[in-house]
Structure 1
Amino acid sequence: MKRSERLVAMTNYLIEHPQQLVSLPFFTNEYESAKSSISEDLTIINQMFQQQGIGYLQTIPGAAGGVKYIPRNSKEKSELFIDQLATKLEDPERLLPGGYLFMSDLLGDPQTVRNIGRLFATHFSDSTIDAVVTVATKGIPLAYAVASYLNVPVVIVRRDPKVTEGSTVSINYVSGSSRKIQTMVLSKRSLKQGANVLIVDDFMKAGGTINGMKSLLEEFEANVAGIGVLAEAEDEDEDRVVDDYVSLLQINNVDIKNRKIEVHRGNLFEQ
């Protein structure tokens, strides 16, 4: 295999296996090359990743060591993407009755969802995460995108128990916006006791749903290592029950009468 071919193959493998430790012997055997050649190739790939602002290679020394691709978004790329997303959400055609915004098209676009996943994975890459937790249904694509970059499983909290999930743990919680009593359940087999979890959701107003997930996770003695939301609504009349979170976008004003929406960057860069 030519060096140019080997570089392409190694780059593709590392991108397809983020956060996974890969030993040098694996590459030497896979591409039938000397360790010195593989080391030089990895240096080139690492430089390219950093120049492109898409991450870096972490080197783990020792006999059981190797390299690990850590996905990262540069601040410039992150700001540009979030500003573009904010512009899309400010389209008056997105207004729905009750002052809500139509966001399903963005959550259904694979490229947009991947970029959102990379942003959250970048922010939480230094945290120990065992699983990404979300509540059905709109947060599911975001959770899978984040989990793919962190190389961890996705755990889905549901509103109703499913017979296919076996025994479940359920709790009642108070919705932050409607103040209604609601129920959420989680399969006992879906999460190990004491796991470190990252909660991901698409939208947060008062934070009742996320607070409910936190209460449910306490039943598993899980540690909430972080909370990430795509968009948060700013409402002075609502008492927010969640404080420690990261948001990409903040919806500051929805004027239904004049059909005007103001969307700004969230608190991601303030963390």
Structure 2
Amino acid sequence: MKKLKRSARLVEMTQYLMSKPHTLIPLTTFAERYGAAKSSISEDLAIIKEVCESEETGELLTLAGAAGGVKYIPKSSPDKALPLVQTLCAQLEQPDRMLPGGYYYITDILGQPGLMNDIGRMFASAFANHDIDVVMTVETKGIPIAYATAAHLNLPVVLVRRDHVVTEGSAVSINYVSGSQKSIHTMTLARRALKERSRVLVVDDFMRAGGTINGMMDLLHEFNATVAGVGVLVESEDVSNDERLLHDYVSLVRVGTIDSRNRQMSVKPGNYFDKQE
């Protein structure tokens, strides 16, 4: 039991709630933690709720009754997310990011913890009302995005491998066709990694035609699992509707036609902002 001044208690309660997103916390937990009356805790929570809503950082849901409590839901409003995504677009437009074959370098962006935290919050906000059990991605560049998103949803992460790892036991492997290169690849998922009939949020760093994500969806069928949503950091617009294998997804950034000769490409915010309207 901690005896704190109210100002310190407010700070500590806020940190506690943010460290346990999407978790129902009984008022008795705070009352016992700080040695305070439930009425005082309720007043504190009302202040935190007001600040979260005014600053558009999340929602504080209160459930009444004996089994009730409070739950913090991280949110990222379009007004706060747009400047960050516009900055990201400007970084992706840099000519030195362009690589042979129409690819470009984004590994340094994926290695920025603060930026990944913001991106994870955006995806968590987009899928906050979905019934999700796990967040899934395929190794390796999607891993930072998956963990950042899962942290804000308070969910476990499931990793799909390119090759089977003997230390993970028996696994399910499938072949899939890359939508961009039309070549056949293999992906595998350990049987112990995912429970049957799970509801899965799939995230990835980049999507052109959607072959890799479509492969993950096929893999999930082997576990009788359901795709609860798909989020991608960057999507390519240089794909026709006939070539696109996936149409229901959330993207943060869109890349237009890439001019390899002149080392130019257009980058703009993705459909995340269309879906938030």
Q: Deviations over 1:87-142 (max 9, x none)?
A: 11111111111121110011000011011100000000000110001000000010
The 1-side partners of 2:190 and 2:239 are apart by: 36
Matches of 1:186 and 1:141 in 2, distance apart?
18
Which residue number corresponds to residue 25 of structure 2? Answer: 22
Question: Whole-Å Cα distance in 2 between the matches of residues 259 and 210 of structure 1?
Answer: 28
Q: 1:109-128 counterparts in 2 under 5 A?
A: 109-128=112-131
Q: What are the superposed Cα offsets for residues 178-216 of structure 1, whole Å, 9 maximum, x if unpaired?
A: 111111110111111111100000000111100000000
Q: What amino acid sits opposite 1:154 in the alignment?
A: V
Q: Which amino acid in the other structure matches residue 246 of structure 2?
A: V
Counterpart amino acid of 1:36?
A: S
Question: How far is 1:150 from its partner?
Answer: 0.4
TM-aligned CA deviation for residue 74 of structure 1: 1.5
Q: Distance in 2 between matches of 1:117 and 1:236?
A: 26
Off by >4 Å, runs of 4+ in structure 1: none
Q: What TM-score do you get using the length of structure 1 for normalisation?
A: 0.98
Letter in 2 for 1:14: L
Deviations 1:19-75 (A, max 9, x none): 111100000000000101000000000111111111010111221110000000112
Structure 1 residue 246 and structure 2 residue 276: aligned? no
Are the equivalent residues in 2 in contact too, given 1:132–1:197 (CA < 8 A)? yes
Give the Cα separation in 2 of the matches to 1:53 and 1:164: 43
| Identical residues among aligned pairs (%) | 54
Q: Which amino acid aligns with 1:269?
A: F
Matched, 1:54 2:57: yes
Q: Does structure 1 conserve the Cα–Cα contact (< 8 Å) formed by 2:208 and 2:239?
A: no
Report what 1:190 is aligned to: 193
Say if 2:245 is the partner of 1:259.
no
Q: Which deviates more, 194-203 or 75-84?
A: 75-84
C-alpha distance in structure 1 between counterparts of 2:91 and 2:245, whole Å: 28
Over aligned residue pairs, what C-alpha RMSD do you find?
1.0
Q: How does 1:122-137 map to 2 (within 5 A)?
A: 122-137=125-140
Residues 253 and 263, structure 1, Cα contact 8 Å, conserved in 2: no
Q: What corresponds to 1:270 in structure 2? A: 274
Q: Secondary structure at the match of 1:189?
A: helix
Question: Corresponding residue for 1:143?
Answer: 146
> What one-letter code is carried by the residue in structure 2 that aligns with 1:262?
S
Q: What amino acid does structure 2 have at the position aligned with 1:32? A: G
Name the amino acid aligned to 1:242: L
TM-score (normalizing by structure 2): 0.96
Q: 163, 166, 170: which is aligned to 2:166?
A: 163
SS in 2 for 1:269: helix
Q: Distance in 2 between matches of 1:28 and 1:159?
A: 49
Contact 1:253 1:262 in 2 (8 A): yes
- 1:92 aligns to 2:61 (yes or no): no
State how many pairs are aligned. Answer: 271
Give the aligned partner of residue 108 of structure 1.
111
